[in-house]
Amino acid sequence: MTADELRSIPLLAEATDAGLERVVASSGEMTCHAGQIVALEGDPGSGMFLILDGTALVEWRGGSVELGPGAFFGELTLLAPGGARIARVRAASAMRCLAIPRDDAIELIESEPTVALAMLREVARRFASALPDD
């Protein structure tokens, strides 16, 4: 994965070259087969994931959502220190994703305001869409 390839991911589109190079240096690609569990509810968060290809199904008490290429998951345990994963995530199809270790993801969020703002907007959109319609 190169910095130019990372720039095509909406979350990282406005990141600096230095920020993207840190992601390249610290992250690793992971491939999953359909049905494979990627994260379990209650487990401590070890980092976050960016979906490169395929889809993931995020399942929690009361709902689920499918995420596709360009989406991310695992960010909530980074934003809540000591937090545990709040959902189970499994590959809904064959999936390739980028795994960013916890400390490196936190450093990216703290040093790249555009990444932090993009993440905050997406998290807010997800919470708003999960609210019941009155």
| b/e sequence 51-82, b meaning 16+ C-beta within 10 Å | bbebbbbbeeeeeeeebebebbbbbbbbbeee
Whether this prediction's pTM lies above 0.85 is answered by yes
pLDDT tens per residue, the chain (134 residues)?
A: 888 889 999 999 999 999 999 999 999 999 999 999 999 998 988 899 999 999 999 998 888 899 999 999 999 888 876 778 889 999 999 999 999 999 999 999 999 999 999 999 998 988 888 777 76
DSSP conformation class of 44: B
